[in-house]
Amino acid sequence: MKKRILSGMRPTGKLHLGNYVGALENWVKLQGEYENFHLVADWHLLTTDLDTSNIKDNTVEMVIDWLSAGIDAQQSPIFIQSKIKQHAELFLLFSMLVSVPRLERNPTVKEQAKDLGLDNNMAYGHLGYPVLQAADILLYQAHLVPVGEDQMPHIELTREIARRFNTTYDEVFIVPNGKLTEFPRLPGLDGKKMSKSLGNTILLSDSPDEIGSKVMQAVTDPQKIRLGDPGRPEICNVFTYHRKFNVGEVDQIESDCRSGKLGCVACKKNLANRLATYFEGFREKRAYYLQHIDEVRDIISSGTATAQKVASETMAKVYQAMKIG
Ligand code: TRP
């Protein structure tokens, strides 16, 4: 039997290149080797945003991006967290197995608190979301969880909770491993973390024109002002993109940038063309799914039914081990 992967994202709508490089590309690569379960973590979204008005539309947009990037829903169920109530049940049980100081030490949660200016005002559910994430993962007995760097503390917590349950009650849970992508972080066009709220993204669904005008605004080496100036690829965002998406030409670009032969405008035009071609197939599939939204909804409901079955089986084992329920 294939080992299982559980991967999840919050439904924030259309995905950007950072989501692709940090996670989605890896999901697609791993789907033959493992049995992949793909979670739309809609409850997780509430930790940072109480406005629910766009969640359904954003879920569909995100799932369309998953499918267009190559997730094969026949072999890899796609499902919605809030449809499967066992996530909440297991979250409640797990919340008894972890201390408040342990949650307060989580570096990713701390960073969010700082970024959002929450100081000592964080919601109980926000502090506890890594426990919900542990429930997401362990409910499906996943062996592997492909994540970006920032999610690793949550995987560590998940492992602790699994062990704690297994030793307190009975050996129910597999202790999963996190798996970082080879290229864990693609910066935004300005060099900061790529994020919709910072307005520095390229979306997977952007048209060639949109890609072109965004790439033209990207920040490069500030010391390279005109053609002929030698550049420093190691500090250039555009070069990072070439490294990822233009492997065939990257060595030439590096030496021509350093020597000054290649100017930033030509280098950016090259990248924009490259990106437009790279995602051409993606855009075609996306156009298809947009015309066939019912098909997308069917994919989600049958994925949810598959996931529901596994979740119920795990919960039966949990209650048996705990001798309650
Ligand atoms: N917390 C993850 C994020 O912010 C989303 C997520 C929720 C997740 N549940 C998960 C990721 C389970 C991996 C596995 O991106």
Domain 4-186+293-322 adopts which CATH fold? Rossmann fold (3.40.50)
Nearest residue by C-alpha to atom 8 in ligand 1: 8
Which residues have a catalytic role annotated?
114, 193, 196
Tell me, in angstroms, the distance from the centre of ligand 1 to residue 134's CA: 9
User: Binning pLDDT at 50, 70 and 90, where does residue 184 land?
Assistant: low
Q: Around 125, how many Cα atoms within 13 Å sit in the side-chain half-sphere?
A: 9
Q: Is the pLDDT of residue 243 over 70?
A: yes
Task: Work out the average pLDDT over 291-306.
Answer: 98
Q: Which residues of 156-190 are buried (b: 16+ CB within 10 A; e: fewer)?
A: ebbbebbeebeeebeebbbebebbbbeeeebbbbe
DSSP state of 48: T
pLDDT in the model for residue 181: 82
Q: What is the DSSP letter of 179?
A: E
**Gap from CA of 168 to ligand 1 centroid (Å):** 26
At the fourth CATH level, which superfamily is domain 205-278? Tyrosyl-Transfer RNA Synthetase (1.10.240.10)
Please say whether the beta carbons of 218 and 238 come within 8 A: yes
Query: Quick one: which of 11, 102, 118, 106 has its CA closest to 65?
Result: 11
211 close to 278: Cβ distance less than 8 angstroms:
no
DSSP label at 144? E
- pLDDT-derived band at 304, boundaries 50, 70, 90: very high
Cα 9 to ligand 1 centroid, rounded to whole Å: 5
For 8-23, what is each residue's pLDDT tens digit?
999 999 999 999 998 8
CA count, 13 A, side-chain hemisphere, 139: 30
Q: What is the pLDDT of residues 247-296, one digit of tens each?
A: 999 999 999 999 999 999 999 999 999 999 999 999 999 999 999 999 99
Which residue's structure tokens are 């060639």? 208
Map tokens 């997308």 to a residue. Answer: 296
Domain boundaries, the chain: 4-186+293-322, 205-278
Percent of the chain with pLDDT over 70: 100
Which helix or strand (DSSP H or E) is residue 55 part of?
A: helix 55-68
The residues, ordered by sequence, that sit 6+ positions from 35 with a Cβ below 8 Å of its Cβ are: 2, 3, 4, 5, 75, 76
Query: What secondary structure does DSSP assign to 283-294, as a single string?
Result: HHHHHHHHHTHH
**pLDDT tier at 227, thresholds 50, 70, 90:** confident
User: Global pTM?
Assistant: 0.95
Q: Among 48, 126, 154, which residue has the most ligand 1 atoms within 8 Å of its CB, making it the best to mutate?
A: 154
Closest Cα to atom 3, ligand 1: which residue?
9
Which among 274, 233, 279 has a CA at the least distance from the CA of 252? 233
State the distance from the centre of ligand 1 to the C-alpha of 275, rounded, in angstroms.
Answer: 27
The helix/strand/coil state of 23 is helix
Q: Band the pLDDT of 79: cuts 50, 70, 90.
A: very high
Over the chain, what is the mean pLDDT? 95
Residues touching ligand 1 (Cβ under 6 Å) are: 6-10, 39, 41, 44, 133, 136-137, 145, 147, 151
pLDDT band for position 55 (50/70/90)?
very high
